[in-house]
Structure 1
């Protein structure tokens, strides 16, 4: 006679950590305008090169400065009437900056925002994809699932005997990776007008990151003693 399979208990384990951010990201848009296409591109390149030199002056505090999209397009006197003559050209380029030493952010941002036809957005705070915090919160979620399963088993007078399955929540629904929450310190600055007084000092407070992980586990247990 085949024996009955052991009873199982299915539980969910959750964990959340609140930690300091490891990165601050900025998006800078540099623009140029001129009646000549070539001069527009030249001015755009010069401003982008000058911006890169400014960023490079902060050394290792800035981990990356990657060029995003770059475009130059004509401007028309009357956009509603096709065939009108081109009145000039406008170009823009994006630079995506990753800062790892937050003490320089204020100076860096003000130095960027004080430039002609330049707009900066951010910072957006975050963690590295390989941050040890992700592993830590996963492990805590697993321990939480084990503790919860033990509590259910103990309530029945049983004890856990083995692990049947351990999976990230949903396994294709909610996504396996821990999720980090921490909004940007939303900020947008355009260049100051020529002759304006010096910009004030800017201090930014890093936004704490909440990292969450959820697992689903199924455990076998001994038969309940009181049933």
Structure 2
């Protein structure tokens, strides 16, 4: 029997690439898990609308489980809901899309252990391999756009850029991690090989926060994908 895992899902390139790798290895990704701090009413980290993450789940045909929490009880909330999700989906493990930050992995292993689950890191490697990881994502056929940037390292011209060969070239001219592993930029994946439908994003608006800027889409919908004759 294939291993059954939940995948910690941000909606961005890292978690999508992790999903692709897991599926390629025959792992059964039975649900996506996304945290939503009550202080934000949006996803943790990316600050994305829950409705957009739900669209990704529909497009991928994988159910999304939201974990309501507060910044103060983030870990305990995650552990409590994870235990319930484990029972609901008969999980063997939980997967994360982290690349190389030890602190992130230690946290993931801690919450997995609390739920008596295996912690799975399909993308784990060295910091020096981040550029290769970005190349892998671009070559994979998935489509993602930059939706959030840290203003101390990138300006707003990066918002709305799609992850393509031009992006790969431009990111190497900066000093940041090519994959934005420290939150330098965040992305939203809207199409790709595992997507049954494409997410069309329109009416963008740039919103400023204390240290970041975000690209907010006011209109979005699922669209049937064109069939390519083989």
Q: TM-score range by the shorter chain?
A: under 0.3
Q: Larger Cα Rg: Structure 1 or Structure 2?
A: 1
More strand by share: 1
More helix by share: 2
**Normalised TM-score (structure 2):** 0.23
**Normalised TM-score (structure 1):** 0.23
Higher relative contact order, structure no. (Cα contacts within 8 Å, ≥ 6 residues apart): 1
